Chains A and B, each alone.
Chain A
């Protein structure tokens, strides 16, 4: 069986920087240029956000970029069309991140098929609980070679973390604090304790920290106890201010 690009990437002996952006923002046709520039800048993995009208786990930055993307005319079908042939240019792992309702309307099976055909490696669906996924959708995802990644938070009980680790493939998405998405400038002792606690659990699945990472300081804190970090809101703010062409500056800024 073909190896998933996420696994190959996570075998590399380095810390990983992953970037999230809302597809269709700032402009409808920016998806492919953003992906190309991110790869050229040395980013290890990308989460492509499928915009939703009611993103209830997201803070203002991602909400607004999502709303703008929808206004620009982004749809599930439109995104798939933009991504056709993307594997001619991009070889880093690509993950689609979106809420469950638009996927349901597209049809889960059809959605999985399109992802496979395009070369998407996995999905993150914040409002599809792990239990429902296992019971109803896992076999379908497996059939199409798609990973589905789950979130844990500082409040997730240890037993549930063990359960999620058991059924996970790819990586576990560690939400940095009890909060919706949004850039923070520092992490406190609570975060560090939590990162250490999870590191000491010796999970079989690698962890990546996301939510609230915005600069070198938070990035460094995040990767010191995990395999990598995901940046969303801070990158979206950068895109809004500096545009698609300056992406390299953002990435060098973080890794400085």
Chain B
């Protein structure tokens, strides 16, 4: 089976471009140009140069000695938390801003939940001197004050999304509406492998640098360029897509995806889309999403704002349905405990999103000679308030 996108923009049953006609020219322009532009040597040179000298790539593949001893297996961490701005999100925003410039766009919009993607977008807009507007749910603006301040300091305008539940999905709706209202000069930088084709594939390609580097690094460290397991948290699924990308069709590699169970799968306050979701259309993509029997999209919940999305990217819906990936869901409490464990065993304070991935070690047994690579997608600075509240620090 092929786990990459097909020529029509689908991953198995999922994907496509379910967009209103108003967006057709914008999305068609991207679809017709993204592969051509990103393949240009001059584009690749600029992209690679910025990833190296601005973002700080390649990020280390770090052998986590104490964790490996405790769990009696070989655990490596791909240190995306060391990227400039503190998470993998910037790999994508660098790629998209270079694309937007080549398409002649002069105005950038983005959506953000936790603010990580908003900060990564505001950063590249500052770098290029391009106007930047970030939509953020009114509730999230209150919950994520430091990132709002960072975006403002970087020169972006943060616009509150006041509709619906006033969180990430509504910020995404507002960004899409802005794009409908500004179809000519504006590029929409989506923050994950979601949205209409070609976004999921485009974002996955920009994030694929993660597994591209792992192949080289593992070759040096282990004498083979593939691990036995790759493990990442999945909100929309961009850090996971980057980690899996070069191993999607390599069945020697087991793929594990970790979703946020929130207060528990059956609690009514969860974001475990693979368990609770049904096939439907959200933000222009056919995928699995959490909804009522009447087809109204429901509000997800996770203590981590970055996993608080009612759908998953179509690639992940396909990995789930086809059985290519194992899906695990992890409640708030276990994720928070892992935030503390990783801090105290390896000296790495992870983002709460990232902490979810490590809980796979509690439910899944790995062999002593197996190589297990975790994507350490982001650092925990942005989550300090939540950690302080939770652990009474």
Q: Which residues of A are in contact with B by a Cβ distance under 8 Å? A: 52-60, 63, 67, 70, 75-77, 99-106, 126-130, 132, 150-153, 155-157, 160, 175, 178-180
Contacts and interface: CB of A to CB of B under 8 A. Distances in A.
Nearest to A157: B25
Given A54-B169, A75-B294, 10 more contacts: A53-B296, A56-B173, A57-B180, A58-B177, A60-B163, A63-B164, A132-B16, A153-B183, A155-B22, A156-B25
Contact of A57 (B20, B281, B294): B20
Contacts of B284: 127
Contact of B181 (A104, A130, A180): A180
A56 B283 contact: yes
Contacts of B24: 129, 155-156, 160
A126 B21 contact: yes
A132 B21 CA distance: 12
7 contacts: A53-B298, A54-B169, A57-B20, A67-B163, A102-B296, A129-B21, A178-B22
A122 to B, nearest CB: 16
A53 B22 contact: no
A178 B19 CA distance: 14
A193 B286 CA distance: 36
Given A101-B282, A127-B281, A180-B177, A56 B294 contact: no
B145 interface: no
Contacts of B296: 52-53, 70, 102
Contact of B281 (A67, A104, A156): A104
B294 A151 contact: no
Report the contact-size class of chain B (Cβ under 8 Å from the partner): 35 or more
A57 B182 CA distance: 13
Interface in B291-319: 291, 293-298
A143 B391 CA distance: 62
A105 B278 contact: yes
A104 B279 contact: yes
A99 B295 CA distance: 10
Contacts of A52: 295-296
B163 A63 contact: yes
A156 B177 contact: no
Most B Cβ at <10 Å: residue of A58, A67, A150: A58
Contacts of A99: 281
Contacts of B293: 105
B355 interface: no
A105 B280 contact: yes
Most A Cβ at <10 Å: residue of B18, B184, B298: B18
Contacts of B297: 53-54, 101
A102 B280 CA distance: 8
B184 A59 contact: no
Contacts of B119: none
Nearest to B169: A54
B281 to A, nearest CB: 5
Given A56-B176, A100-B281, A127 B19 contact: yes
B25 A129 contact: no
B279 A179 contact: no
Contacts of A128: 18
A206 B21 CA distance: 18
Most A Cβ at <10 Å: residue of B163, B170, B184, B283: B163
Across the A-B interface, give the 10 residue pairs with the lowest CB-CB distance, nearest first: A102-B295, A105-B295, A151-B21, A53-B296, A57-B20, A126-B20, A75-B294, A155-B25, A101-B295, A56-B176
A126 B183 CA distance: 17
A104 B294 CA distance: 9
A104 B295 contact: yes
A59 B177 CA distance: 8
B295 A103 contact: yes
Contact of B17 (A55, A59, A129): A129
Interface in B129-149: none
Nearest to B26: A155
Given A60-B163, A179-B181, A180-B180, A104 B280 contact: yes
A129 B180 contact: no
Contacts of B184: 155, 178
Contact of B21 (A77, A104, A175): A175
A100 B296 CA distance: 11
B295 A178 contact: no
Interface string B263-278: 0000000000000001
Contacts of B180: 56-57, 178-180
A77 B296 CA distance: 13
Nearest to A57: B20
Interface in B372-387: none
B22 A175 contact: yes
